[in-house]
Structure 1
Amino acid sequence: MSINKRREFLKLSALAAGGFLLPSASTQAANWLSGAGATTHKFGLQLWSLRDDLPKDPKGVLKQVAAFGYNQIESFEGKQGMFWSMTNKEFKSYIGDLGMQIVSSHCDFRKDFERKATEAAEIGMKYLIAPYLGPQKSIDDFKKAADEFNKCGEICKKNGLKFAYHNHDYSFKKIDGEVPIDVMLKNTDSNTVFFELDIYWAVTAGVNPADYFTKHKNRFTLCHVKDRMKNAVATDQNSSCVLGEGVIDYAPILKVAKANGMQYFIVEQERYDTATPLESAKKDAAYMKQLKF
C-alpha cells in the first residue's frame, strides 16, 4: 500500500471509530426497514439526481418526486434553466400545488448572476449556490474565488437571498500547505456567504463532517446527503449508492449538523448500479422518512 493510500485508509478508519461510518450496511438497513426512529423533518432532492429523466418531462418527473415524499427542491441550471422551461413563478406554482417548494439552486455564478438572484428572490428561494470550482493551480486561486463569492453574497443579500458554495473532495486536499475549504471559510463574509457540505465528498476525502459543523457553526446551512458504497476503496471517488445501502451512519452526523445551524437536508444521487434514477430517489426518500436526527 502506498503512503498516500495508507493515509486515506487511516482517515476513513478514524471516521469509523468516531461513529460516523457503519461497521456494516446491514445494521443501517435493518433500522431503516424496522421503522426505528421515524421522524417528520423536511428534506429535499437535488434535481441533478434525475438529470437524464428531467429534461424529457419536467412536470411529470416533478410529480413523481412529490409522490415519493420530498418537501423541498434544489434545482440546477441545465439547458432548460433553473426552472425547466417554465418561468420562475410558473415553476413555484406548479411544485407548490404538489406540496413542494424550491429552496435553492446550483447555478453558473459567473454569468448573469444579478438576473438569477432577482428571479430567485421573486419566488422566495433561500439560496443560490456555486456547484463546482474544480482543483486549482494554487491556493491564491481559491482566494480569488472567495472574492468572487463575496460579491455574489452581496448581490444575494440585496435581493433577500444567501449565497453558498458546494464542495467536492478536492476542497479538502491541501495545496500550497493549506486546505482550500478552510481558506474559503476564512476569506468569505460569514454574513453573506455560506456553505453546502456534500457529506459524501467529505467522507471520501477522509474528513469528519462533524468537525466542520462544530468549528464553523452557522456557516454550513445546507448539506447533500448521499451514501458511500460498502467495501469501496479509499481512493474510489465514484462510489456513491442508495441511502441505507452504504457505510455512512447519517443519524449522528445530521444531529451534529442540525445543532450547529444546518437548515436544509438535500438528497443527491450520482451513481446508478442497482436501480434507475427515479427508483433510487424513491428509496432515498423512504430512508430519509425513517431517519431520526
Structure 2
Amino acid sequence: MDETRRGFLRLAATAGVAAGVATVLPGTASAEPLTSVPKGHIGIQLYTVRSLMTGDPQGTLNALGRIGYATVGVSGLYGHTPRAFRAMLDNAGLRAVLTHTSWDAMRADVDKEIETARVLGVRYLVVPSLPGSLRTVAGYTQVAAAFSRWGIAARSAGLKFLFHNHGVDFMTVDGKVLYDILVEQTDARFVNFELDLYWIIQGGYDPVSYFERYPGRFPVYHVKDMAPNGSFEDVGYGTIDFPRIFRRYRESGILEYVVEHDQPKDPLASAARSYGYLSTVRF
C-alpha cells in the first residue's frame, strides 16, 4: 500500500463523526448554507434486517416505515413473488428504489431480472458483487463489456443499471485499480455506480477523489459506517466523516442514501439509530 493510501486510512480511522450538526470554526465563514439529506430519499438495504425478513417480512417492513424510512433497497424476495413483495412494500408505505440481483442471474436471464425490477417499481437494477475468478484486468474488462450490454437493456426498459462495490474491487492488479476499469470502460448513459462508502474506504481510497475524477457517476450511496477496529457500525457512530462526503453532492450525482449494516446485533435498533443520524446530519 502506498503512502497516500496509508495516510487516508489513518485519517478515516481517526476522524470521528460528530452525530448532529456540522460546525464552522470561529473566525471562518461557511461557503454556503448547511443542507441536509432529503428525507424522501433516506432508505435502508433490506440485507440489514434479513434475519427479521425471513420470519415476518410485512411486520419488518412496517417497522421500518414507522422509524421514518421512505425507501428500501431490495435484497431478495424471501420466497415471495415480485408482485406479492411489491404489495408488502406498498402496505408499509415504502418505495423500493433499487434491487440487488447477481452476476450469475444476469448472465442467465437478463430479461427476467429486468422484469422483476420493473414489477418491484425500482429505478435501479444493481449487481452487488463479482466472482473472485474475475479479479484480473482481463476479467474486469470482460465485466465492463457485460455491464454495458445490460445497461443498454435496462435503459430500454426504463431502468438504470448500477454496480455496487466491495473493498476487493479496489485491488491494484498489473498497475491498474480494478474498479477504475469498470468506470472508465463504461458509458455514463448506461452504467453507473452504487458507492458503498464503507468498502471504498476499507479498500484504501477516498470517495471524494472519485467524485472529482468521475463526476456524476454515483447516484446511490450505501451509507455504512466503520468502527475504530474496522468492523461495521451504525451510521453516525463510527469513524467515517459523512458530512465531508455528503457536502460534495453536486460532484457525485447522489440521489439516494441507503443505509446498510452487515452484522447488526439488533437490526431494528441499528436501523433506528442510523436513521436518526442520517435524518438530522447537516453538511
Q: Same fold by TM-score, threshold 0.5 exceeded?
A: yes
Partner letter of residue 120 of structure 1? A
- Residues in 2 aligned to 1:144 and 1:62: alpha-carbon distance in whole angstroms: 37
Q: Pick from 6, 16, 30: which aligns with 1:24?
A: 16
CA distance in 1, matches of 2:210, 2:122: 25
Give per-residue Cα distances to partners, 1:1-33, cap 9 Å, x unaligned: xxx4977532313x45xxxx66335xx14659x
2:192 match: secondary structure: strand
Identity rate, percent: 28
Does structure 1 residue 202 correspond to structure 2 residue 200?
yes
- Give the aligned partner of residue 30 of structure 2: none
SS at match of 1:164: strand
| Aligned residue in 2 for 1:12 | 9
Are 2:239 and 1:247 equivalent residues in the alignment? yes
Amino acid of the structure 2 residue aligned with 1:280: S
**Alignment partners' CA distance in 2, 1:256 and 1:134:** 31
| Matches for 1:141-152 after TM superposition, within 5 Å | 141-152=139-150
Question: Would you say 1:286 and 2:273 are equivalent positions?
Answer: no
Quick one: distance in 2 between partners of 1:38 and 1:140?
41
Query: Separation in 1 of the partners of 2:164 and 2:152?
Result: 18
Q: 2:226 aligns with which of 225, 228, 246?
A: 228
Deviation (angstroms), 1:98: 2.5
Q: What CA distance in whole angstroms lies between the structure 1 residues aligned with 2:161 and 2:37?
A: 29
Of stretches 142-151 and 84-93 in structure 1, the one that deviates more from structure 2 is: 84-93
In 2, distance between residues paired with 1:279 and 1:102?
21
Judged with a 3 Å threshold, the aligned counterparts in structure 2 of structure 1 residues 207 and 137 are, in CA distance, closer, same or farther, namely closer
* Aligned counterpart, 2:46: 47
Tell me by how many angstroms 1:85 deviates: 3.7
Contact 2:21–2:282 (8 Å) recurs in 1: no
- Could you give the per-residue CA deviations for residues 97-148 of structure 1, whole angstroms, max 9, x where no partner exists? 3221001011122232211212322443101100101443421000001111
TM-score by length of 1: 0.83
Match of 1:64 in 2: 63
Note closer, same or farther for the CA distance 1:30–1:254 as it changes in structure 2 (3 Å cut): closer
Equivalent residues of 2:61, 2:88 under 8 A apart: no
Question: What residue number does 2:75 align with?
Answer: 76
CA contact (8 A) 2:16 2:240 kept: no
Distance 1:267 1:39, change over 3 A: closer
d(CA) in 2 for partners of 1:125 and 1:225? Answer: 19
Q: 1:250 to 1:22 in 2, by over 3 A?
A: farther
3-state SS, counterpart of residue 114 of structure 1: helix
Structure 1 residues 30, 261: closer, same or farther in 2, change over 3 A? closer
Contact residue 5 and residue 205 of structure 2 kept, 8 A: no
Give the secondary-structure state (helix, strand or coil) at the position aligned to 1:89: helix
In structure 1, the residue matched to 2:25 is none
Confirm or deny: 8 A CA contact 1:37 1:290 kept in the other structure.
no
TM-score, normalised to structure 2's length?
0.86
1:22 and 1:249 in contact (8 A); partners too: no
What is the aligned partner in structure 2 of residue 170 from structure 1? Answer: 168
CA contact (8 A) 2:227 2:238 kept: yes
Q: Indicate the larger mover: 256-265 or 51-60.
A: 256-265
Alpha-carbon displacement from aligned partner over 1:173-197 (angstroms, at most 9, x marks no partner): 2011101111111111221111111
Cα distance change, pair 68–201 in 1 and its aligned pair in 2 (3 A):
same
The Cα of 1:92 is off from its aligned counterpart by 2.8
Q: 2 CA distance for matches of 1:5 and 1:177?
A: 12
Residue 219 (structure 1) shift: 1.2
Alpha-carbon distance in structure 2 between the residues aligned to 1:209 and 1:223: 10
Alignment gaps of 5+ in structure 2? 23-33
CA RMSD, Structure 1 to Structure 2 (Å): 2.4
Give the partner amino acid of 2:75: F
